Amino acid sequence: MTARIPLLSLTSAAAIGLSLATLGGTAQAATEWNMPTPYGDTTFHTVNIREFADDVREATDGELDITVHSNGSLIGHAEIKNSVRRGIVPIGELIMSRLANENPIFEVDSVPYLASSYEDAEALWEASREVIAEELAEQRLRLLFAVPWPPQGIYTQQALEAPDDLENLSMRAYNTASERFAQLVGAVPTQVEVPDIPTAFSTGRVGAMITSPATGADTKAWDYLSHFNHAQLWLPKNMVIVSEKAFSRLDEASQQAVLEAAEAAETRGWEMSRQETADALAVLEENGIAVSEPAPELATLLEEVGATMTEEWAGRAGDQGAAILEAYEATRD
């Protein structure tokens, strides 16, 4: 990770040099923002973020130029939030539930069956957005937009039928909720970042994983496993945050451009995510992955795990959690 920092200064030095040269030194140089993101170029989140950067560049006539560094190439996922907070980079993307260790409200979108359709996920986001934005604001971070992954399911190397098919399997997880889920179904969780998934399977480090149809398709899951159970457990969100310090240095027109592009990116991203669910499921099937839904006994186990995790989450999340749940319930009356 530290080895990657010099890359940042090289990149920005080169970029600033270039824009000065282009402008012939007469006008003020455009503001250059380096933006680390954790996922690969084919991931719809990355595609959406590149469009966001294009929109900002266009709306500001190139005055604010955001360079997207995908796939953890500039800064590893685990460091992105603190890098924005410490001003190493002005803006970045990360999965919101990664911050669960700071406050459980960040993982409200990763509780099984609390909100497992797009409609419910949207209602839950409406109910939780303000609290989450306030928590981030306390760290001088501004939440720009958030977009869900398609619903999470279970990938395995054999058919997943009975609940005990998961027993003792080494299961790839990506946040504390997916770890807890693995434990509760009797599996053994191991954290693996998306770029490392194919190797984790090919070396036998993991034999199952929780993720979306999207990530399965992006990582060519058919090369290393054969079954996907579309259990639709939860829809975790990625969020884009900017440091308040960097944001406040922009002139008003550029700030407005960022906020407008962010709003458009959120709307577009949710649409892309829905579409991606259908497209990626089709890609998995075309490539020979058997796609199924939980058989009754497995469904019962998953629902029990969901109930346990909802209770555990509510216990941890205290008053803030209760307020979110109340606001969420109110949208469903």
Token digits for 198? 């194919």
Binding-site member from 52, 155, 174, 328 for ligand PCA (CB under 6 A) = 174
The residue range among 66-74, 83-91, 212-220, 285-293 that interacts with ligand PCA, by the rule CB under 6 A, is: 212-220
Shortest gap between Cβ of 312 and ligand PCA (angstroms)? 20
- Binding map of ligand PCA across residues 130-169, x = CB under 6 A, - = no contact: -------------------x--------------------
Shortest gap between Cβ of 246 and ligand PCA (angstroms)? 26
Q: Binders of ligand PCA: how many residues, by CB under 6 A?
A: 9
Q: Is 236 among the residues that bind ligand PCA (CB under 6 A)? A: yes
Contacts of 80 (CB under 8 A, 6+ apart): 36, 37, 38, 89, 92, 93, 94
Shortest gap between Cβ of 95 and ligand PCA (angstroms)? 6
Q: Is 194 among the residues that bind ligand PCA (CB under 6 A)? A: yes
- Residue among 52 and 174 whose Cβ is closer to ligand PCA: 174
Shortest gap between Cβ of 57 and ligand PCA (angstroms)? 27
- Residue among 144 and 197 whose Cβ is closer to ligand PCA: 197
- Cα separation of 70 and 51, whole Å? 13
Question: What part of residues 90-109 is at the interface with ligand PCA (CB under 6 A)?
Answer: 95
- Binding map of ligand PCA across residues 262-291, x = CB under 6 A, - = no contact: ------------------------------
Shortest gap between Cβ of 92 and ligand PCA (angstroms)? 16
Q: Is 70 among the residues that bind ligand PCA (CB under 6 A)? A: no
- Residue among 96 and 258 whose Cβ is closer to ligand PCA: 96
Of 41, 48, 56, the C-alpha closest to 275 is 48
Token digits for 61? 């006539």
Q: Is 211 among the residues that bind ligand PCA (CB under 6 A)? A: yes
Q: Is 71 among the residues that bind ligand PCA (CB under 6 A)? A: no
Q: Is 229 among the residues that bind ligand PCA (CB under 6 A)? A: no
Shortest gap between Cβ of 4 and ligand PCA (angstroms)? 20
Q: Is 125 among the residues that bind ligand PCA (CB under 6 A)? A: no
Q: Is 72 among the residues that bind ligand PCA (CB under 6 A)? A: no
- Residue among 33 and 174 whose Cβ is closer to ligand PCA: 174
Token digits for 155? 């990938």
3-state secondary structure the chain: CHHHHHHHHHHHHHHHHHHHHHHCCCCCCCEEEEEECCCCCCCHHHHHHHHHHHHHHHHCCCCEEEEEECCCCCCCHHHHHHHHHCCCCCEEEEEHHHHHHCCHHHHHHHCCCCCCCHHHHHHHHHHHHHHHHHHHHCCCEEEEEEEECCCCEEEECCCCCCHHHHCCCEEEECCHHHHHHHHHCCCEEEECCHHHHHHHHHCCCCCEEEECHHHHHHCCHHHCCCEEECCCCCCCEEEEEEEHHHHHCCCHHHHHHHHHHHHHHHHHHHHHHHHHHHHHHHHHHHCCCEEECCCHHHHHHHHHHHHHHHHHHHHHHHHHHHHHHHHHHHHCC
The residue range among 54-62, 206-214, 262-270, 291-299 that interacts with ligand PCA, by the rule CB under 6 A, is: 206-214
Q: Contact positions toward ligand PCA, by CB under 6 A?
A: 95, 149, 174, 194, 211-212, 214-215, 236
